[in-house]
Chain A
């Protein structure tokens, strides 16, 4: 116990004396949270589109004017042929082409099936999917209104349509930022915790002080605890800071219990920092450990479901995610903050991460050798 106290005292003095690390620890989260949340948004605005109107009638104009009226679309230019319009695609001045065939109005009055062609630049599948779904919605509304106009003279009671009204639960305004803040917080907390701890032991190895520790009677458990505790405290502080910023800047809701959130974060940090220490005890140089943790972080982050939903991943990837600590915290963080989930809904995740942390920490203690 006394030894642990001296280890912690030393570690904290070193952390707070480090002029390059301190700003990284305390400024980085603020900057990243602000930049990432504003930048990493999936709401698309200003999709540029070009029009090829081969019909040039009131009805055909009605179609593309709907696009123009939508906040998502921005009219680029008109063309007299599809070939010319394709030029906009190649030059990158438009990402969507609306092509209305000749005889559109004629078909309309004859009550024949109508067709409009929409071409989407799909280099980025995600944006293509979004643009095309926006376009589909607009065309659907055209579809609904056309018969209305056609039969306007007749009694409208003939047309009984199913009207769909939606209500989005847990994030009623579909505020993308509310979804992103908890996710980015997870990344921040993890990166800080894992990198700091991973570099720390290796640094002592490089400086030679590690040997001095290894010839001393410090126990393995004390040593690992002495490294673990400071970084858990820093990472938890980081989480609190991030939540505060999220509340102030983005007004994210705190629907669930913060105690619950911090308890989970504690278990999670035991795991992640334990993992960093494990990598650290098995690396010889800072370079080595940086590359290793970078590799794991990248895979874990991209698979965690921060940008792409876990539900759309292939089966094998979802199985891999059982091992991905990020995926758990990402889910739990969003569930507690946005949904107000309680321990009843989350006990499985608590148990899994708790066991996982125990396993990794035991491994870190057991494989840390005081002699080579």
Chain B
């Protein structure tokens, strides 16, 4: 039995009267790809921001990488990586300068930074681009680099908030190859998306509608339960029933 790396009980976030996350309860197991699926505004980003310590929960319990999310946020931050839909490397720095900076602030030694960046650039096949400014790099590549930088310090978990927004299907496929490589390194992946093809790649999925988790299982089990052949159908069915009940 794998151990739970994220444990969440009745996690709630309110903005005034608006309940963005309503009593979320779930576990993420070490080494899996855990997907958060939902329409825009379903509350995925709110949840991921709380898990990363970017936003404070209104109520509920939360444990990330064995640390309490209320009192040990700084310890959590050492053990996680994060990449958001808003592209987040420095545009006016080169690839190498970004790697050096982010490696440095996560406390990697100089030699570790050098070795890992070399290894990463070789893996991505962009050794010759390392002195190119990020702003001169095509968007698809930027996302791949951003992901690699987010896991440079070998975190236990990496949180990806709609990492492939606005990227073509081919690049998206390549991006997911990187995610699988990260899994091989023992990194747990927590990813939000609204692309149904990406949902299929996850080990387990939680479906969010209007701030609540309405279903949580593996893609196969979900398809079986709702008697449909694609995640798309499952999602539409769930979203509709969620709207009726609310």
Contacts and interface: CB of A to CB of B under 8 A. Distances in A.
A370 interface: yes
Contacts of A208: 84, 86-88
Nearest to A212: B88
Contacts of A372: 54-56
B53 A215 contact: yes
B93 A14 contact: yes
Contacts, number: 78
Interface string A210-231: 0111111110000000000000
B105 A217 contact: yes
Interface stretch (B25-33, B74-82, B124-132, B209-217): B74-82
SS of A interface (majority): helix
Interface string B37-54: 000000000000100111
Q: Output the residue of B87, B89, B90 with the most chain A CB within 10 A.
A: B90
Interface stretch (A2-10, A130-138, A256-264): A2-10
B171 interface: no
Nearest to A214: B54
Interface string B83-111: 01011111111000100111011110000
B73 interface: yes
Contacts of B102: 212, 216
A280 to B, nearest CB: 17
A214 B77 CA distance: 9
Interface of B: 49, 52-56, 73-74, 77-78, 80, 82, 84, 86-93, 97, 100-102, 104-107
Given A5-B104, A9-B100, 18 more contacts: A2-B104, A3-B107, A6-B105, A13-B93, A14-B92, A207-B91, A208-B84, A209-B89, A212-B89, A212-B102, A214-B54, A215-B54, A217-B106, A217-B107, A218-B105, A370-B73, A371-B53, A371-B73
9 contacts: A2-B107, A6-B101, A9-B104, A13-B97, A213-B105, A215-B52, A215-B77, A217-B106, A371-B53
Interface of A: 2-3, 5-7, 9-10, 13-14, 17-18, 207-209, 211-218, 370-372
CB-based closest 5 A-B pairs:
A6-B104, A208-B86, A215-B82, A212-B88, A217-B77
